[in-house]
Amino acid sequence: MQQLPLLPSLWWALLLAPLLALTWFRPIWFIPLFFVAGAVWLSFRAGLILDDNLARELEGQDLLVEGQVDNIPQRAEFGQRFEFEVSRAEHAGQTVHVPRRILLNNQDFSFQPRAGETWRLLVRLNRPHGYQNPGGFDYEAYLFHNRIRAKGYLRTEIAPQLISSAPWYDIDRLRQNLGERIRAQLGDNPYAGIVVALANGDGRGVSVEQWQVLRQTGTLHLIAISGLHISLIGGIVFFVASWLWAWPGTTVLRLPAPMFGAICALLAATAYAALAGFVIPTQRALIMLTVAMSGILLRRRFAPSLLLAVAALLVLLYDPLSVMAPGFWLSFAAVAIILFAMHHDRVTTSIFYKWGYVQWAIALGM
């Protein structure tokens, strides 16, 4: 659908009724039914983002915007870059429409906004564009996937005005405070940025050289908090909580240990995803973990392939634009390969053989 010049019309939704009726006679019609339903849902969600656009006559104009700093500001040599969630915008004294999420550059080192704060700023915006070099990074698609529909910079004619500080419970505020405390403890340690990235998912302090080393060694996925970290935290908490709950003298008869472990695992995974800022990869991983734990909570045994399919369906219902992210395909492909390898590994029960078999399957499959 990315290659189409225009999004399909929502009138295609009219085909859902006859296709649904045909499934009563021939179940094979479920295939085109799901295909049309998916295309309509994707068109609807993508259309909502495309409609939230910056009017061409407002490009390059001074705009007075009011809103909240939506993420931890990224420090750079030229100043700062931060995402801003707009609640109100004016041009020449008139209220105008501005995209809900914008990306701003700030070259004034005296202005240091913090995550969660509400500001009134004078800015100039333009529509996001990227280069179309073959094999290069699609910057415009990246901004689109993150719902950023305009970018610009701060103007100095009107000083930024702080409207309100971040509330104590703001997640991004807590993440920024945690990162600053870690940096204060580590001082000039060159690996401070990596420690912060592992703690709160903010990898903006990792240097270009360190990113290059991580990319060359194939360990890049260890820094960005995603499905690996969420699953690891959930799995550890599940086994530890289940083991503790099964001790004599506990209320294991009222609530089975696996169910208690599943509840604790979901709570821990949700807290860790919040610590990472609830970025899209962590949302996707949290949905997958919830589906995986559903069999335990419902006291039912489901086929792993069914759980994987349901997880993929829920992820696409929640965010159909996930198909644009390589992480979506890599995550589900890796899990599918692991399930396939474990299902067909009937040669021996040796744990070392099984572990090596799965590793080779992933290496060859990915």
What is the secondary structure of 34-60 as a DSSP string? HHHHHHHHHHHHHHHHHHS---GGGTT
Tell me, yes or no, whether 103 lies in a domain. Answer: yes
Q: Does residue 139 lie in a domain region?
A: yes
Residue 283 in domain: no
- pLDDT value for 214: 84
Can you spell out the DSSP letters for 315-336?
Answer: HHHH-GGGGGSHHHHHHHHHHH
pLDDT, average across residues 269-295:
86
CATH number, residue 131: 2.40.50
Report the pLDDT value the prediction gives residue 237, as an integer from 0 to 100: 94
Task: Tokens for 87, please give them.
Answer: 């609640």
Q: Is the pLDDT of residue 347 over 60?
A: no
Residues 92 and 155 in one domain: yes
Residue 342: is its pLDDT beyond 80? no
98 and 126 part of one domain = yes
Confidence of residue 5 (pLDDT cuts 50, 70, 90): low
* 80 and 160 part of one domain: yes
**Domains in the chain, number:** 3
Q: Quick one: 175 and 152 in the same domain?
A: no
pLDDT grade, residue 23 (50/70/90)? confident
| Domain end point (choices 222, 237, 264) | 222
> How confident is the model over 140-171, as pLDDT tens digits?
888 888 889 999 999 988 889 999 988 877 88
| 62 occurs within a structural domain | yes
Considering the domain architecture, whether residues 108 and 143 belong to the same structural domain is answered as yes
In this predicted structure, what is the pLDDT of residue 98? 94
Which pLDDT value is given to residue 345?
55
Q: What pLDDT is recorded for position 28?
A: 80
Q: What percent of the chain has pLDDT over 70?
A: 87
pLDDT at 191: 87
Of 142, 164, 186, the last residue of a domain is 164
**In Å, what is the CA distance from 92 to each residue of 52, 86, 122, 153, 157?**
21, 17, 12, 18, 14
Q: Assign 354 a pLDDT band (cuts: 50, 70, 90).
A: low
Residue 234 in any domain: the answer is no
Residue-level pLDDT at 232? 86
In the predicted structure, residue 85 carries a pLDDT above the cut 90: yes
Enclosing domain of residue 204: 171-222
Instruction: State whether 137 and 178 are in the same domain.
Output: no
Say whether both 78 and 151 belong to one domain.
yes
Q: What is the pLDDT confidence band of residue 62, given thresholds at 50, 70 and 90?
A: very high
pLDDT of residue 208: 82
Same domain, 214 and 148: no
Is residue 319 in a domain?
A: no
Percent of the chain with pLDDT over 90: 22
Span 198-214, average pLDDT? 82
* Of 4-13, 41-50, 74-83, 236-245, minimum mean pLDDT range: 4-13
Same domain, 78 and 160: yes
Instruction: Please determine, for residue 58, whether its predicted confidence score (pLDDT) is greater than 90.
Output: yes
Over the chain, what is the mean pLDDT?
A: 83
65 lies in some domain: yes
pLDDT given for residue 89 in this prediction: 94
Of the spans 29-38, 260-269, 289-298, which averages the highest pLDDT?
260-269
> Of 24-28, 97-101, 111-115, 287-291, which range is least confident?
24-28
**Bridge partner list, 64:** 90, 122
- Rounded mean pLDDT of 238-265? 84
128 and 185 inside one domain: no
131: helix, strand or coil: coil
**What is the pLDDT at residue 245?**
86
Task: Using only the alpha carbons of the chain, give its radius of gyration.
Answer: 24
Residues 111 and 198 in one domain: no
Query: Which of 14-28, 87-101, 222-236, 247-261 comes out lowest in average pLDDT?
Result: 14-28
Does residue 63 sit within a domain?
yes
pLDDT of residue 332: 83
| DSSP-derived 3-state class of residue 225 | coil
Instruction: Annotate 48-64 with b (16+ C-beta within 10 A) or e (fewer).
Output: ebeeeebeeebeeeebb
- Contact (CB, 8 A) for 268 and 304: no
- Residue 62 and residue 46 share a domain: no
Long-range contacts of 297-305 (CB under 8 A, 24+ apart): 297/259, 297/262, 297/263, 299/259, 304/339, 304/343, 305/339
Question: What is the rounded CA–CA span in Å between residue 3 and residue 364?
Answer: 30
Question: For residue 273, what pLDDT is reported?
Answer: 87
Determine contact, residues 277/288, Cβ cutoff 8 Å.
no
* pLDDT at residue 95, rounded to an integer: 92
Q: How far apart, in Å, are the Cα atoms of 20 and each of 17, 30, 32, 112?
A: 5, 8, 10, 56
Tokens, residue 224: 């960005």
Q: Amino acid letter at 112?
A: Q
Confidence of residue 187 (pLDDT cuts 50, 70, 90): confident
CB atoms within 10 A of CB 355: 10
250 pLDDT above the threshold of 70: no
Instruction: Retrieve residue 249's tokens.
Output: 């003298």
